[in-house]
Amino acid sequence: MRALLASLLLTTPYQAIVHAAPADAPVAHSVSIAEHVAQVGDQRVRYLESGTGDTLVLLVHGWPQTADEWRRVMPLLGNGYRVVAPDLRGIGGSRSPSRDYSKAALARDLHAFVETLGARRVVVVGHDIGGMVAYAYARLFPQQTTGVAILDVPLPGLAPWNMVAASPQAWHFDFNKQHPLAETLIAGRQRLYYRYFIDQKATNSKAVSDREVERYARAYASADQLAAGLGLYRTFDQDAAFNISHQGAMTVPMLLAGADGSMGQGIRPMAEALRASGVREVEPAIIERSGHWVAEEQPTSIARLIKQFVTRLP
């Protein structure tokens, strides 16, 4: 994404909220993380949970990751908030008979899951593909969404999507869509593929250890799990149609954050596109000293960013 930044910069002045932090190191904490499995309709949902509080912070992972990408962030949010992070449909420990991987379908999954938790004040935070799901969640359930945060990802159908999708850095968009070629080439080589991909998108690739990459590889190991991950990309045209058709006034406050080593200033045209589509309150932010894997490269900054956003919500 770095090469993309210059082409996305505009000449007009731009004020961003910059959240700076030194390179993050493991932080001592007392908030534990529990792992659970819930049956929601015909779906099995594996999720992580920490903390307590009246506000539920729902953390949505990206690809090729799982709920485990949030393990360094969750304890930092657990003092004051109830934090949950589920595996998306068909990935990791979650199972579903459906093969619909559109972001609207995944958002409906999450809404049904949240209803089982009995939460009234819900803030949805999504990274990468999870950010696309978080946006669909806010569009489908605005009255039940207190706030939504989208971290380092463009939205299909909304600027600067076409520019990002056409850039060399987005080569995996088209590769992951190739069926059944992608499965044929990736099966049995998930660890190698994910390690390469993570390294290419990181400012600090050591922030995602080989052990964590191995955990992600296991989460996409079976034919169905691998297809679920690739299915997230194969529905981009469907996602774009949803985003284009679901416009109009939306009062759910939105945080839009890009890593300075990834989306960065690309959030500016994205924020403008969201306002043009009817989102009334968009707060842009830049995550310093981070590549695309913001929850692992800068967990302290991400936790602080989320806390500051939540405290400003109605």
Q: What whole-number distance in Å separates Cα of residue 112 and Cα of residue 174? A: 31
- Enumerate the H helices of 46-102 as residue ranges: 74-77
**pLDDT score of 206 more than 80:** yes
User: What pLDDT score was predicted for residue 218?
Assistant: 98
Estimate to the nearest angstrom the gap between the alpha carbon of 85 and the chain centroid.
11
Q: Tokens 């962030």 map to which residue? A: 73
Q: Distance (Å, rounded) from C-alpha 229 to C-alpha 227?
A: 5
Q: What pLDDT band is residue 5 in, cutting at 50, 70 and 90? A: very low
Please tell me the predicted confidence (pLDDT) of residue 4: 43
Tell me the pTM: 0.93
With a pLDDT cut of 70, the percent of the chain lying above it is 90
Per-residue pLDDT tens for 141-171?
999 999 999 999 999 999 999 999 999 999 9
Alpha-carbon span 225 to 188, nearest angstrom: 12
> What mean pLDDT comes out for the span 17-43?
72
What integer is the mean pLDDT of 290-312?
Answer: 98
What are the boundaries of each domain within the chain? 2-311
Pick the CATH number of 2-311 from 3.40.50.1820, 3.40.605.10, 3.40.630.10, 3.30.450.80: 3.40.50.1820
Length of the chain: 314
What share of the chain in percent tops pLDDT 90? 89
Summarised one tens digit per residue, pLDDT across range 83-126 is: 999 999 999 999 999 999 999 999 999 999 999 999 989 999 99
With cut-offs at 50, 70 and 90, classify the pLDDT of residue 306: very high
